[in-house]
Structures are given as structure tokens and as C-alpha cells.
Chains A and B, each alone.
Chain A
Amino acid sequence: MRPPAIASAALLFAAALQAHDFWIEPSTFHPEKGMTVSVGLRVGQNFVGDPVPRNGPYIERFVVKQGRDEEPIDGMNATDPAGWFTANGRAAAVIAYASKPSFVELPAAKFEDYLRQQGLERIIAARAQRGERAKPGREIFSRCAKAILTGARASIAVTQPLGLRYEIVPHGDPTFGGAPFRGRVIYQRTPAPGMRVEAVFLKQPSIRLSTRSDAEGNFSFALPRAGVWLIKSVQMIDAPRGSKAEWESLWASLTFDAPPAEGRP
């Protein structure tokens, strides 16, 4: 390995230490009618991740919604891909995955780095106010991942919340047209204001956009390239009483294939 490559590899993986994104990677974003689509779960950074095998006891919800029909995604435990379904090819398919909470404890410095990395400065301030900055960060975290697969025509169904605890919901079908991506972040079915939202381009993860949701939880991105994008956001709240953690994080993600459009090669 050439020295610069080593350096960049080390940096890439060092950055991954604190926070791991989670998203859905289907075998195709453009299924035809009757096609079997495998649904891969990924954990990683910079839109490069490890496959996560299906782990039944940790799944809260794993469904696909095609038009009005919602069905559970079948799969074999402990295998990657985590599940599969048959595309109906008509409407856009929305896949949703929600995990049960897991516990993690990080040293104080690492926890604070991760909070800063995710735009959760208000939690840093809250810890300081509570005199907890020197204490390890103890949190429970849950995944709230979605993916939109292009259908035969634009679908309004993709604009409906699926009821995940923290969720990225587009205002329109992002797999059609060339308009900027507009959406909102919803926590417990209500708009989440002031949340950092990021967009990462699959083919070139160095293309990364960042914004914050407004008072109504709305945000928008002018996606500069056609292709697969990951939109992601992390919510953090006080952990429920009775858990051994002080904080609870919810990791929302949305993956989809943005079509070429004017100004978007």
C-alpha cells in the first residue's frame, strides 16, 4: 500500500470508530414485476458498510409496502441478505426496518466526538449542564431505516410516514423527476426541528451534503448527481427510566436512486 493510501484508509476507519450508519441496500432499486428483490442491511460509514445478517430477536419491524399493501419481509435468520420479497412492479416499494434497542457504552471523549459528528451539540451541552461530561456515554440505540424502490410511476405512498419512531419522509417521490429532494424528519409522529440531516452519494461518498431541519422538521437538498443516495439523521433523547443508559439514539436513514435530470448528471 502506498503511504497516502494507508493514511486515507486509517482516517476512514478511524472516523468509523464513533458512529456507524445503518441503511438498506436492496439488490436493485428498479425491480420489475415478479422480480425477487433481496434486502441487505448495512452498517458502516461513508456509505460503505458491512452486511448485517438477519437477527430475528433484534427486529422490531421489517416490512415492504407496495401501493397500499404492506407485508412482512421474509428471510432466513443469521443470513445475509436479511430478507427478500417479490416486487409487484406497479407502485414504488418502500422497505422499512426498525430494530429493537441495543445498549452501548463509550468513553467520555469518544462519546462527545460522536455527538459532535452527528450534530448533537445540544446533548453535549446537556451533559455539561448535568456534570456528566467526564462520564462514559451510556446509550441505547435503535435503527429506523427505509429504502424506496422505483415503481412504474411516481407514487404518493412514499410520502406517507410508516410509523417508525424516527423517520425521514420525502414530500414527493424522489425516484421521479429532477426536483430537489424535499422531506421532513419525524420523531414519534411529530416534526423534529433543528435536526442535522446529511446526504451521501453512493458512488462517491466524498460528495456529502448537510443541513438542519426547520421548525416544521422540513429540509431539502439539491442533489448534484443522479444515482443512489443515502439521507440520514440521528435523534437523541433521554433514555427511558429503568434502562441502564442515560441517552437513547434513533438512527433514521433513507436510500433511493435519484434519476438523471437537468443539472443532475
Chain B
Amino acid sequence: MRRLLPLLLLVAAAAHAHEIGTTQVRLSVHAGGAWTASITTAPLSLLNKLEVAAGLPRSGALDAGALRAKLAPLLPRVASLVDVRFDGAASPASVAIAALEVPADVSRPAFVVLNASGSVPPNARAFTFAYGLTYSTYALTYDGRTVWIEGDARCAPLPLAQSAQPPTRAQVIEQYLVLGFQHILPKGLDHILFILGIFLLTTRLRPILAQVTAFTVAHSITLGLTMYGVVSLSSRIVEPLIAVSIAYVAIENVVSTELKPWRPAVVFAFGLLHGMGFAGVLRELGLPRGSFLPALVSFNLGVEAGQLTVIALAAALVGGFRDRPWYRRRVVVPASCAIAAVGLYWSIQRLFG
């Protein structure tokens, strides 16, 4: 950013009356509903302004460590003077020091880079920016465009780049429903095999519903708790255990013909693990800051829809044969053995791979 200054000065020289200072701002609006601004400015000048405004004694020349120590407690005051508004509504900023350099060579400039950030409301169309800690003209760059702002004045509204406009609540719900569904069908082969394991145990509807309900409740609990940071388990533990759960339900299908009393409890326990697995995926996808809960619930509902679709497809495929005497021998046992083999292979692979 600092390398831009010569070019910016050249471009601006004829157009701006007030002196151009060393402050530069680069603002980005992210699709996830957040904005960030990198503010490069002179550290001692910034500190002196804050000190004088607060009635504190003005500091003289300081090294980088001392400047950082003096600036740190004043950052909330800086944040209150970074004024970003989306369609007129203020978006409170938080500010942190990203870099601070004070060269020993007096002919080289000192600078501090402040990282400011905040959230973008849904449906926002344009934003304005004002920085109340500068007297000079400075450049704000956004989406490849540079605007010049005089001192603490507010810039004219800048339209949000199309790609950066945060999605609406309805768009978030739709997006995460689809993501949840796709995480099962077609992407979630391990979860599909686990659901098929549940389906194959019995030809009666009630035991299947009991297991699916236990599984759903369990994975919903750990998905939510993991995403909110209440529980945490390494994927190195979760992923092998999910594979073990697949092998377990499939093997039990081979050795048992009916729903044992402990089976829903075991499925519930495995559901807890699968929920953590879903959370791992969801964390990689990211949740929009402004629509965290709707996105989480939508993702979970998408997962449910995916699971029910798996059961519906399985029922459509073999449901007509479930009353046949050979159904268990020719469908349940071979399919369960295949699922168990895959589950065991994954268990070993994920444990030692």
C-alpha cells in the first residue's frame, strides 16, 4: 500500500487543495457479511492526536515497542472514529494493530497499519467512510477504485461491488439448505452408508424411525454445540470413530435381525460423532456473521433432507422385496458386509493414514 503513495500523489496533485498526508485506507467488503479496512498512518501523529484529545501529555519520539504500548489502550477511541455506514446505518468497528515500524534511520518513515473490521448488514447497497483522525487529504481504495477524502469528511456513498454484496437472509437459508443436502447426497458417502446400515437392520418402519430420530437429535446437538465452540474434538478422533460407527451398525445387521434395546442409544452416540463431523465441514464452508443461526439450522435441515432422501431411495430400490424370504439373505447380509468392510477399511485408513 505504501508503494502506491507516489502514484497517488501524482494523480491527486492537480485535483486536491488540502495537503495529501501519509494516511491511506484500503477497504474490502466480503461476501460473508464483513468489512475490513487496512489503515496505514503515522504512529506518533496518531498517538499525539489521541493524547491531546484525551487531555493527556503529548508524547515525544518513541520506539516501536513504546508506541505500541501507548496506542494499545487507545484503540477503542480509534475505533469510535472509524465511521463506516451502510445505507446510512453505522457499522461499529473494532481496531487492532497489524504492524508498526519505527526505523532508527530518521530519513525513513515510521508507520502503523491498523486493521479495522465490522459487519455488513444484509441487503446493503452502498457505504460511506469517514476517519476522524486525519487533517490531511487521504486515499481510500475499494474494489479497484480510489476516492480522495478531505480530512475527517465523509466520502460520497460508494456502491457495494456486486460480488461483495452480502446475501439476503432468504439466500443464506437456501444456500445452506443446499449445502447441507449436498453434504449427504452426493458428497457424504460415509453418512450414506451409516443411514443405509440403519435402514437395513429391519423391515419394520418403527425401528427405522426410532434410529433415525436418535441419530438426528444427536447430530443436531453436537453440530450446534461445536459451531458455538462449546464442545470440541479433533477430527483425527472424530473421523475414525465415524468409520467405526459405520462398521458397527453394518456388523450388527449381520448378527441380529431385530432392534436390540441398546441400538437406538448406540446410534445416538454415533450421531454425536457425526454431528461433529458435520461441524467440521460447516466450519470449512464458513457461516455468515450476520446470519449465523439461520445458516446453521438450514444446514442441519439440509442434512436431514439428505438422510430422508437416502432412506426413500433405498426403500424405493428394495422396498418391494422386503417381505420376501430371501431379502435378508440376498440383500441385507451382503450389503451390510460390504458396508462393514468399507467402514473397517476407513477406520484403519483414518486411524493410520
Q: Which residues from chain A sit less than 8 Å from chain B, CB to CB? A: 1, 5-6, 8-10, 12-13, 16-17, 20, 22, 27, 36-38, 41-46, 48-53, 55, 57-58, 77-81, 84, 102-105, 141, 202-205
Contact = CB atoms under 8 A, between A and B. Distances in A.
Given A43-B21, A204-B57, 14 more contacts: A9-B54, A13-B81, A17-B152, A20-B135, A27-B61, A43-B136, A48-B49, A50-B23, A50-B134, A51-B109, A55-B20, A58-B13, A80-B22, A203-B58
B152 A13 contact: yes
Given A1-B80, A49-B45, A81 B17 contact: no
A81 B61 CA distance: 14
A27 B109 CA distance: 11
Nearest to A74: B107
Contacts of B10: 78
Contacts of B107: 36, 38, 81, 84
What is the interface of chain B mostly: helix, strand, loop, or mixed? loop
Contacts of B9: 53, 55, 77-78
Contacts, number: 125
B42 interface: yes
Interface of B: 5-6, 9-10, 13, 16-23, 41-42, 45, 48-50, 52-55, 57-58, 61, 76-77, 80-81, 106-107, 109, 132-136, 151-152
A103 B15 CA distance: 9
B53 to A, nearest CB: 4
A238 B337 CA distance: 98
B53 A51 contact: no
What is the interface of chain A mostly: helix, strand, loop, or mixed? mixed
A12 B61 CA distance: 22
A22 to B, nearest CB: 7
B131 to A, nearest CB: 10
Contacts of B132: 9-10, 13
B135 A45 contact: yes
24 contacts: A1-B76, A9-B54, A12-B52, A12-B53, A13-B53, A13-B81, A16-B152, A17-B151, A20-B18, A27-B61, A48-B45, A48-B48, A50-B135, A50-B136, A53-B5, A55-B9, A55-B20, A57-B13, A77-B9, A80-B22, A81-B109, A102-B16, A104-B17, A203-B58
A52 B136 contact: yes
Given A22-B19, A43-B21, A9 B77 contact: yes
Contacts of B18: 20, 43, 102, 104
